[in-house]
Structure 1
Amino acid sequence: MPEATTFVTASYIVKDEEELLGASLAAVAPFVDEIVVYDTGSRDRTVAIAREHGATVVEGFWDDDFGAARNRALEHCTGEWVLSVDADEVVHGDPRAWRRSLRLATTDSFALEVVSSSYADGGAEHRAMVARVLRRSHCRFEGMLHEVIVGRWGAVSQVQNSTIFLRHYGYTAVYMRERNKGARNLALAEAALEKARGGGRTVEPDLVINVARSATLAGDHAKALRTFATLDLDSLPDGSGLIAGPTVLVSALALSDLTTARRWIDRMEAWGESKHVCSAMRAQVSMAEGDWNRAEDLLRGLEDDVHRTSAQFRADAHTDQLITCVARQGRGAEAAELLLSHVTTGRSGISPVSALLLVEETADGAARLAAALPDALVKPFLAQLQTCLAEVTAGFFEALWTRTGHRPSLLAAVARQWPSMTVDEALRWSLRLREAGLEDLCPLRRIAAAAGQRDTTTRIVCAGVLHEIGETWITPALEAMLAVVPDDQVDNVVASLTRYAPALAASLVPA
C-alpha cells in the first residue's frame, strides 16, 4: 500500500540563512514528504529560497527560546514523524532504509549522528549523537538552548537511527566568526539558568553544563571552568558528565589546567566511556606536558570504537596529533610521510603553513602535497596560504597550478602575494591572470604602483615591462622613478631592464 502523503515532515527554524538553506532543503527532499520552515524574522532571501524549494513557510517570531520555536514549527507539521533539521545541516543516507526504519519503529524518538568539520567539506571531524526525530503525536521539544525531545505525557523512548546522518556546517571557523554563535549561545544558556533559579525550581545540572559549554564555544575558558567547578561530580548523572567531559578538556587544555583535565578523564572512565576515547584524551594531556613519546604510544594504540553516547569514535581522527608527536621527536621525514598519506582522506586539520613546512622534510614534498590534497581542502589551504611569503608557497602553488581544477581560486590567492614576489614570479602569474581575464589583479601593476612597499629598482622593472607591452598609463610614473635613480645605481637599473624590458633599456643608453 502507498505511504501516507505526509508520513515524514522536515522541520526547520531559521533566520537569515540564505547562504546555506538551499543546499539543506535540496538534500532533505528525498527523505521527507513535507518541509515546514518556521522563519523568525529573516531580512535576506531565506523565505524566498524556502518557497522555491516547495516548503510551507511560517513567518513567525523569535523569543530567545529554541525549544519554544521548534514547538511552534511543530504545530504546522502534518507528518506522523518529524525530522528536525538546521539550515546549516545536510542530510546523507539511504532514503528507502530511512523510511523503512520509521515504519518498523517501536520507539517514539531517534538520535542521529551529527558530523561537524573544521572546514566546509573537510578537515578535522567531530561526531555527536543528537535527538532529532520524533513521533509528532507523542513528543515535543523542551529547552531554551540545546533543546531536547520529551514525551507529551511522560518519558519518551529513544534509540539511535543509523540509516541517515547530518553533516553540520555551522561550526566551521569562518561561519562561527560571521554568526557569533558562541556569544549567542552563552546568552541563551545563562538566561535559561537564571529562569530556572528565579522560578524556585531545582536547577538541573544540564542547565549549568549548557552555560559552561557555551562559554567554551565563546572562547571564555576561565568562565567555563568556573562553571564546571560548581557541579557535584559525585551526584552528576553519567550521561551529563559524558557530554560535559570533552568540553572541560578543551578549556582545561586552553588554560594549561592539566589537573582538572586528568580529574575529568578519570571520571569519564569511571562513567563507562570507551577506553580508546579516554586514551585519546590522555594523549592530549601528554602533548600539553611535552611528553611526545607517551602521547605517541597512546595514539598508536587507538582503535575505532563507539562513545558511551553512541557517537562513532574514529582512531584516524587523531592522526594529526600523531603527526605532531612524531615531528616533535625529530622524525620529520616520517611525520611528513604520515601527513601526505593522511591528507588524502580530507580529514586533516593540520594548518596549511605547518603542512608546507613539514613536507620540506621529504623529496618533492610541496609537489606531492599539491597532488595529494583532496578538493575539499584546496580552498581552505588557499585561504590560509595567500597571506604567506611567496617564497614559502611558491613550489606548492606552482604544483597546484598543474591540476585542472581550482585555478580561479588559486589565481585569486596568488594575486595577493605580490608584496613578496620576485620579478620572475610576478611575470609568470601576471601572464596567467591576464589570460584568465583578471588584468586588475596583475602583480606587475601592483608592484609598479607600490611606492614605499617595494624597492625602486623592482618597481622600475615591473613598470618597464608594462610600458613595453603597451600600457602607456604607467609612463609618467616610470619616468618619475627613472629621474631619481642615483648615478651609482643607473648601471644596475639598466642591466635589470635589459633582461625584462630590452627596448626600454636600449632607449636609456646614450648612442
Structure 2
Amino acid sequence: MGARVSRKPETTISAVLIVKDEEECLARCLESVRWVDEIVVYDTGSSDRTVEIARRFTDTVVEGYWDDDFGAARNRAIARATGEWVLVVDADEQFVGSPHTVRKHLGSGRANFFTIPVGTQVVQPGTIDPPATSVRFFRRSDGQYAGALHEQVVNRPGVRRVLRPLPGASITHTGYSEGPEAMEARFRRNLEIAERELESARDAGQDGHEVAIRESNLARSLVGAGRREEGMELGERVHDGGALPDIAMESFARAMAITAAAHGDTVLARQWAGRLRAVANHPVWADTVLVEISAAEHDPVATLDALELVPTTMVDEHGRQVRRVEYSRYEVWALWKLGRARDVRRAAVRAAAAGVLPGQPYELWEWVGEDGLREVVEALTEDAWQLLGVLCTHVGATEAARNVLDLMARVRPGDLAVLLCARELRFPADLAGLEEAATWSARMRTAGLEEYCTLVALAQDVGTPAPQRARAAALAHFAYGDPRALPALEDALAAVAPEDEAELAAHLDVLAPGLVQRA
C-alpha cells in the first residue's frame, strides 16, 4: 500500500467591502480582487448602480443598512464571509500584488494580523495623503473592527494578536474627488460620530490614550465641518496632553499643519510640522509638509527648495512609499510663477505619465495653455484621465473646466468616461453656450448615447432660463427629431417672459424655421 500524503488545506481568502453609491470606481476595485476565493459586498443604501455592478463579480451582495458606525458596518460584512482570512478593501481602492506570495505568507502560521502599505495613486490636486500601513489581512476568527469613526482592526477577546508586515501586497487608493455638497455632508456626519465616540469613551472611563485618540478625531472633524478655531484649539490641548500615541500623533500633526497652512497661519503650520518631525519615523514626512506650507506662503523659490529634500522615491521601514512626483502640482505652480514655461510643461507631462494630476483643470489651463494641456492630457494614465474628467464637472461652471473636458473629447473621440462626465456640465445661457451643448449632443449621439443628449437635457432643465431651454429644444427637434424636444419646447415657451418673446422668436426661426408656428 502506498504512503498516504497529507496535504495542508488551501488558504482561503474573502475580500470584504462596505459600499454606498460607488458606481464610478467599484468595478476596478472588484476586478483587482478577483483572485480571492470569495467577495463579500455589503451595501449600506446605494441609490445608483452599485449593487448591479457588484453582482457582476459576486453572488454575495448584501443589501444592508447604515447606522453611523463604520466599525459595525464592517463587522456585519465580515459576518457574511466564509474564508479563513479576510482582506478588507474600499470601493475606491485596488489591490496590487502577488496572490501566490500573499497565500504563502498567510499560510505560514507566523501571524494572524498583517499590515500592508496603503498609498494614494490619484487624488484631488492639493490634498496629498502620505502612504500609511494598515491592517488589511487578518484571520477571520481572530479579528474584528472597533470604532464608529476611523475604525481599526482589533483582536477578539481572548485572542493573542501577532502582527507582521505582509510582503508582496499593497493597496492603491484611486478615489475620486467629492463634490462640495458631498464633502459637506461627509464632514457633518463625521463630526456627529466623533462627538458621540468621545462622549462614550469618557463615560466608559477609558484610558488616556483612547480618549486622546477620540479627541484628535473630534478636532479633525471640527475643522472639516467649518469650526476651525474650535478644532485647532482642541488640537493644541491634545498635543499638550501628551497622551496621543506617536503613530497617531504623526497623522494628526500632519493634518493640523496642512489645515493651518490652508487658512494662512503658516507660523502655526510650521509649528505642527516640527511636531510631526519629532514623532515621524523618517524626516521625509515633515519635508513633504514643508512643500505644501511653502506653497501656502506663495513662495515659489522656497517651494522648489523644499521639493529638493523629497527623494524621487523612498520606502520607509513601515513599507510606506513617497514619490516626489506626487507633489508635482506644487512644482508646476512654482515654475509657472517663476516664468519657466518650458520647465512647467515638462514637469506637468512627467506627472501625467506617472498617474498624477499636476493641478486642477482651471489651473492647468492657465499654467500650461491649450497646447501644453494637450500634451498633458495625451500622457495621462487611465485613472488620472478619469479623475480629470470628474474634476471638470465639479468646477463645471467655469469656462476653463469646460474647455479642458472639450479638449479631452477631441483627444479621445467617443471616450465613455468623458461623455458621462459631460452630462454634469452647465452651459452659459447664451448662443455660445447653446453651441457648446450642441457639440456635446453630437458627440453623445455618435457614441450611441442618445438618452444623454445634452440639448434635450438642457431643454428639460428647469434651472435654465426659459429662452435657452426653448432654443435647446428647438435645435434638438430640428437636428435630431428627438421626441422629447417638443414637450420640452412647449413647457419652455409657457415660461418665457413677454419682453423676451420677440427676440426668442427670431432665434427660433433661425434654429428651426417654421417650428413655432407649426407647434
**Please, what TM-score do these two structures have when normalized by structure 2?**
0.73
CA-CA distance at 1:119 after TM superposition: 5.4
| Range that drifts further, 387-396 or 166-175 | 387-396
Partner of 1:156: 161
CA-CA distance at 1:305 after TM superposition: 2.2
Which aligned pairs between 1:260-271 and structure 2 lie closer than 5 A? 260-271=268-279
CA-CA distance at 1:162 after TM superposition: 3.6
Partner of 1:252: 260
1:126-164, CA deviations, whole angstroms, 9 ceiling, x for partnerless residues? 532111222344444333332232364376232222422
Whether the 8 Å CA contact 1:269–1:278 is kept in 2: the answer is: yes
CA distance, structure 1, for counterparts of residue 217 and residue 272 of structure 2? 17
CA distance, structure 1, for counterparts of residue 260 and residue 244 of structure 2? 19
Aligned partner of residue 34 in structure 2, secondary structure:
helix
CA distance, structure 2, for counterparts of residue 376 and residue 249 of structure 1? 29
Query: 2:320 matched to 1:315?
Result: no
Whether the 8 Å CA contact 2:409–2:418 is kept in 1: the answer is: no
CA distance, structure 2, for counterparts of residue 453 and residue 3 of structure 1? 74
CA-CA distance at 1:209 after TM superposition: 1.9
**Please, what TM-score do these two structures have when normalized by structure 1?**
0.74
Query: 2:185 matched to 1:180?
Result: yes
CA distance, structure 2, for counterparts of residue 464 and residue 51 of structure 1? 40
Partner of 1:201: 206
CA distance, structure 2, for counterparts of residue 150 and residue 209 of structure 1? 23
CA distance, structure 1, for counterparts of residue 103 and residue 445 of structure 2? 53
Query: 2:111 matched to 1:91?
Result: no
Which aligned pairs between 1:50-449 and structure 2 lie closer than 5 A? 53-56=57-60, 64-71=68-75, 73-74=77-78, 77-116=81-120, 126-145=130-149, 146-150=151-155, 152-153=157-158, 156-168=161-173, 172-174=177-179, 177=182, 180-204=185-209, 205-233=212-240, 234-303=242-311, 304-306=313-315, 310-360=319-369, 364-385=371-392, 387=396, 397=406, 400-406=409-415, 409-410=418-419, 413=422, 416-417=426-427, 419=429, 422=432, 435=446, 438=450, 440-442=453-455
Whether the 8 Å CA contact 2:114–2:166 is kept in 1: the answer is: yes
Whether the 8 Å CA contact 1:283–1:295 is kept in 2: the answer is: yes
1:259-283, CA deviations, whole angstroms, 9 ceiling, x for partnerless residues? 3322222122222442222122122
CA distance, structure 2, for counterparts of residue 305 and residue 44 of structure 1? 39
1:349-403, CA deviations, whole angstroms, 9 ceiling, x for partnerless residues? 511111011122x8x3344344334443444444554645668865983574253
Aligned residues: 479
Partner of 1:509: none
Amino acid across the alignment from 1:141: Y
CA distance, structure 1, for counterparts of residue 446 and residue 38 of structure 2? 48
CA-CA distance at 1:169 after TM superposition: 5.3
Aligned partner of residue 290 in structure 1, secondary structure:
coil
| Range that drifts further, 399-408 or 273-282 | 399-408
Partner of 1:508: none
Whether the 8 Å CA contact 1:193–1:203 is kept in 2: the answer is: no
Partner of 1:507: none
Aligned partner of residue 164 in structure 2, secondary structure:
strand
CA-CA distance at 1:96 after TM superposition: 0.9
CA distance, structure 1, for counterparts of residue 7 and residue 289 of structure 2? 50
Aligned partner of residue 284 in structure 1, secondary structure:
helix
Relative to 1, partners in 2 of residues 1:2 and 1:54: Cα closer, same or farther, differing over 3 Å? farther
Unaligned segments of structure 2, at least 5 residues: 1-5, 515-519
CA distance, structure 2, for counterparts of residue 113 and residue 286 of structure 1? 28
Q: Give the number of the structure whose alpha-carbon radius of gyration is greater.
A: 1
CA distance, structure 2, for counterparts of residue 15 and residue 274 of structure 1? 34
CA-CA distance at 1:299 after TM superposition: 0.6
Relative to 1, partners in 2 of residues 1:9 and 1:286: Cα closer, same or farther, differing over 3 Å? same
Partner of 1:8: 12
Relative to 1, partners in 2 of residues 1:223 and 1:113: Cα closer, same or farther, differing over 3 Å? farther
1:98-117, CA deviations, whole angstroms, 9 ceiling, x for partnerless residues? 10121225122111222345
Whether the 8 Å CA contact 2:18–2:90 is kept in 1: the answer is: yes
CA-CA distance at 1:26 after TM superposition: 4.5
CA-CA distance at 1:168 after TM superposition: 3.7
CA-CA distance at 1:321 after TM superposition: 0.8
CA-CA distance at 1:252 after TM superposition: 1.4
Amino acid across the alignment from 1:208: E
Aligned partner of residue 229 in structure 1, secondary structure:
helix
Amino acid across the alignment from 1:206: I
Aligned partner of residue 137 in structure 2, secondary structure:
strand
Amino acid across the alignment from 1:108: N
CA-CA distance at 1:95 after TM superposition: 1.0
Unaligned segments of structure 1, at least 5 residues: 505-511
1:174-216, CA deviations, whole angstroms, 9 ceiling, x for partnerless residues? 4981793333232222212111111233332222222223334
CA-CA distance at 1:171 after TM superposition: 6.5
Amino acid across the alignment from 2:96: H
Amino acid across the alignment from 2:283: K
CA distance, structure 1, for counterparts of residue 233 and residue 293 of structure 2? 20
What is the root-mean-square deviation in Å for CA atoms of aligned residues? Answer: 4.9
1:303-324, CA deviations, whole angstroms, 9 ceiling, x for partnerless residues? 0223575421111111111111
